[in-house]
Amino acid sequence: MEKKIILSGIQATGNLTLGNYLGALNNWVEMQDKYDCYYMIADLHTLTIRKDPEELRQNTLSLIALYIAAGLDPEKNTIFIQSHIPAHPSLSWVLNCYTYMGELNRMTQFKDKAAKHADNINSGLFTYPVLMAADILAYNADLVPVGDDQKQHLEITRDIAERFNSLYGETFKLPEAYIGKVGARIMGLQDPTAKMSKSATNELDKVLLTDTPDDIRKKFKKAVTDSENKVRYDREAKPGVSNLMSIYGIIKNKSMEEIEKEFDGQGYGVFKTAVAEAVVERLEPLQKRYNELLENPEKLKEIYQKGDKKAIEKTDKLLKEVYRKVGLVVD
């Protein structure tokens, strides 16, 4: 039986957080044996926010290193750079013509980003979900492993695909979001009612994948909890502690009940130290490997060039089919 197809990506903004890792990257690693996986660096999406060009180029390469350091085997996965694959922007343009302004206006991420970057509400930010739809549909992906904040983008992808299929006959497969049971939304350590975000201005709110062990310990020590001093899972009443439990649970592969038992009768001090140590233990080898990989940019180039080639081969036929269906002259 043919393996199911997975596609996902992360923007090349640098400073990835523990949220990106636990919500996305960590799940990707678990999928690599079972599925035919395509993992890209979403560098075109990164252009929607102003970036220093050199920094973006460096972040793109670093992110490839991070994918591999996190455990993605370049032999098993197709790792590539979005901007190297002509089908993404090409298909995105076609799909833009089958997407309504009203639909895009409803995207909460657009509203959030437009509020945050009021001086640069460009049309790329507005049509961001259409490029994401093109990324996914170009591969006929079955599953898209993402954090819960991307759910709405998956819904609009399906809507666009269904609309196109009903106009031109079966063309695109309808993809499903693959969202982990825990960790789909890692919250900030200082404000556990909002998701942990790369762009948070309070450094204590986010754990970066490149943080030193001491920084990580300090951040967990200062994490906001509550006054009950009892390790108990309750997202509504105890968002801080519940978030720490989710982090610990994913890394240690333990259920919330198991964690409650493990820390029964112990206060937050002991618990926070245990969470911090679990994170340090997980990130230390990752960072070591990441730094080694960064020293060998030629190797990274080899990896993405091989991935690019496979991605181009994979998407070319479908792009032509779409062009033909809408009436463009092909060949």
- Among all residues, which ones are annotated catalytic? 113, 195, 198
Q: Does 31 bind ligand TYM (CB under 6 A)?
A: no
Give the position of tokens 């898209």. 144
Closest by Cα among 185, 181, 184, 209 to 195 = 185
Dump the DSSP string for 182-203. SSSSPBPSS-TTSB--TT-S-G
Task: Output 135 or 142, the one with its CB closest to ligand TYM.
Answer: 135
Dump the DSSP string for 69-133. HTT--TTTSEEEEGGG-THHHHHHHHHHTTS-HHHHHT-HHHHHHHHHTTT---HHHHHHHHHHH
Q: Does 192 bind ligand TYM (CB under 6 A)?
A: no
Q: Does 10 bind ligand TYM (CB under 6 A)?
A: yes
Task: Output 152 or 262, the one with its CB closest to ligand TYM.
Answer: 152
Which two structure tokens, joined as six digits, stand for 310? 């496979």
Task: Output 189 or 276, the one with its CB closest to ligand TYM.
Answer: 189
Smallest gap, in angstroms, from Cβ of residue 45 to ligand TYM?
A: 5
Task: Output 43 or 259, the one with its CB closest to ligand TYM.
Answer: 43
Contact predicate 5/145, CB 8 Å: no
Give the residue at shortest CB distance from ligand TYM.
Answer: 23
| Residue list 134-153, contact with ligand TYM (CB under 6 A) | 135-136, 144, 146-147, 149-150
Contact predicate 310/85, CB 8 Å: no
Smallest gap, in angstroms, from Cβ of residue 34 to ligand TYM?
A: 18
Q: Does 195 bind ligand TYM (CB under 6 A)?
A: yes
Contact predicate 230/163, CB 8 Å: no
Closest by Cα among 163, 112, 162, 152 to 129 = 152
Residues in contact with 88: Cβ distance below 8 Å, sequence separation at least 6, in sequence order: 44, 82, 131, 134, 135, 138, 315
Judged by CB under 6 A, the number of residues near ligand TYM is 24
Q: Pick from 5, 7, 130, 286: which binds ligand TYM (CB under 6 A)?
A: 7
Q: Does 88 bind ligand TYM (CB under 6 A)?
A: no
Give dist(CA 164, CA 203) in Å, integer.
44
| Residue list 44-63, contact with ligand TYM (CB under 6 A) | 45
Q: Does 196 bind ligand TYM (CB under 6 A)?
A: yes
Smallest gap, in angstroms, from Cβ of residue 139 to ligand TYM?
A: 9
Task: Output 194 or 330, the one with its CB closest to ligand TYM.
Answer: 194
Go through the chain and tell me how many residues it has.
331
Biggest distance spanned by C-alpha atoms of the chain? 72
Q: Pick from 95, 132, 143, 156: which binds ligand TYM (CB under 6 A)?
A: 132
Q: Does 175 bind ligand TYM (CB under 6 A)?
A: no
Q: Pick from 113, 158, 173, 185: which binds ligand TYM (CB under 6 A)?
A: 185
**Nearest-5° angle of CA 79, CA 83, CA 85?**
70
Site for ligand TYM, rule CB under 6 A? 7-11, 19-20, 23-24, 42, 45, 132, 135-136, 144, 146-147, 149-150, 184-186, 195-196
